[in-house]
Amino acid sequence: MDIAKLTTELDQIERRVEDALPTLRSIDELRRFEAEILGKTGPLSAFVKAIKDFPADQRGQVGQTVNSRKNRIEARLGTHRDALQQQAAGAEQQAAASFDPTLPGEWREMGSVHPVTAVQWEIERIFVRLGFTIEAGPEMESEFFNFEALNIPGDHPARDMQDTFWLKNGMVLRTHTSPVQIRAMHKFGAPLRTLVPGRCFRYETLDASHECTFHQVEGLMIDRDISIANLIALSKTLLSEVMHREVELRIRPGYFPFVEPGIEIDMNCQICGGRGCPTCKHSGWVEILPCGMVHPNVLRAGRIDPTQWTGFAFGLGLTRLAMMKYGIRDIRVLNAGDLRPLVGAQRLAGAIIRE
């Protein structure tokens, strides 16, 4: 390369810089351009490296030319940086001066928890106040915990009460939260107060009030001299606290092999006010809280002495309670993944959580 060609190429670089400056509107853009022109792999570094290839008598002049052009370009970019920084400071000042703290804030749509979660948290708060611990158990459960330990042996007709998903490995998807009763007894012994919210699975025909995946909350209290009166009083308090009003309940005998006596507590349907609708299968009542006194065989399976201790257990239909609370007519919308039918309920649920 000769000096004339070098000068032409330096001219071109300077022109490129001049052309680019008006398009560089932010410090970031400027920084990127600077790196392109002045960086190690840029054209100016290549010229600096090339100085040594010129004949010795020309090197001084070439060096001077390259350095002075480099300084000029650096100065030009520096001036542009100052201008951009001033502009940014001015814009900030202007924004601060035009900020009106009396204007109403921007409305942002709030997210919310799922209605079932909202009711679950509410129930947990009530029971934690009463000294209950919150437990969890596995959703894939052994036949022993799901049935046998709950006084439902293999040949017992009560196995047909809960349509079961059997897995290839011989386990089941738990059909109820009751297996955690036994797990909690093994873990804590007596006395014991525990609450177990959780997902359950049944091979059901779906309708407005039956899903194959739904939530229950198991409650278990074991102590000395626990009676069915304690259970009924607690159930009434629980349901009216969750619904935030007195609710009409119907108590009738119920059969579950793991309790004796067993009772069913139904709530009058909050969707139709008890007149009858598809949600309550036109009966005016919704099965919500089956419960009873823990069967001695179950206490034994839990390694608790039934001559010393008594207890009650319940298996609240959490999903159905959430439907009653938020006026959700069809259980299928809860798991459908379409948020639109849930929006109203979720707003209410959000309000409850923020209370």
Could you give the CA distance from residue 150 to residue 172 in angstroms, rounded to a whole number? 15
Q: Which residue ranges make up the site for ligand FA5 (CB under 6 A)? A: 162, 176, 178, 202, 204, 210-211, 214, 216, 256, 259, 262, 287-288, 290-292, 313-315, 317, 319-320, 331
Min separation Cβ 201 and ligand FA5, Å:
9
List CB contacts of 51: < 8 A, sequence separation 6 or more.
59, 62, 63, 66
* Nearest to ligand FA5 of 47, 290 (CB atom): 290
Q: Give the residue at shortest CB distance from ligand FA5.
A: 317
Could you give the CA distance from residue 97 to residue 99 in angstroms, rounded to a whole number? 6
* Nearest to ligand FA5 of 70, 295 (CB atom): 295
Min separation Cβ 214 and ligand FA5, Å:
3
* Residue ranges with strand state E in 295-328: 310-317
Residue 45, phi-psi category: left (phi > 0), alpha (psi -120 to 50), beta (remainder): alpha
* Nearest to ligand FA5 of 138, 262 (CB atom): 262
* Nearest to ligand FA5 of 197, 292 (CB atom): 292
Whether the Cβ atoms of residue 149 and residue 302 lie closer than 8 Å to each other: yes
* Nearest to ligand FA5 of 66, 313 (CB atom): 313
Min separation Cβ 348 and ligand FA5, Å:
20
Pairing of strands 310-317, 285-294: antiparallel
- Nearest partner of 212 among 220, 221, 202, 222, judged by Cα: 202
* Nearest to ligand FA5 of 87, 335 (CB atom): 335
* Nearest to ligand FA5 of 16, 199 (CB atom): 199
Query: Which amino acid, one-letter code, is at 68?
Result: S
Min separation Cβ 203 and ligand FA5, Å:
9
Give 134's strand partners: 195
- Nearest partner of 180 among 1, 313, 12, judged by Cα: 313
Min separation Cβ 28 and ligand FA5, Å:
56
* Nearest to ligand FA5 of 37, 152 (CB atom): 152
Whether the Cβ atoms of residue 157 and residue 275 lie closer than 8 Å to each other: no
Min separation Cβ 170 and ligand FA5, Å:
21
Place of tokens 């046998």: 148
Name the token pair of 295.
Answer: 């069967």
Could you give the CA distance from residue 60 to residue 9 in angstroms, rounded to a whole number? 18
Virtual torsion, Cα 89, 94, 95, 99, nearest 10 deg: 140
Min separation Cβ 222 and ligand FA5, Å:
13
Min separation Cβ 293 and ligand FA5, Å:
9
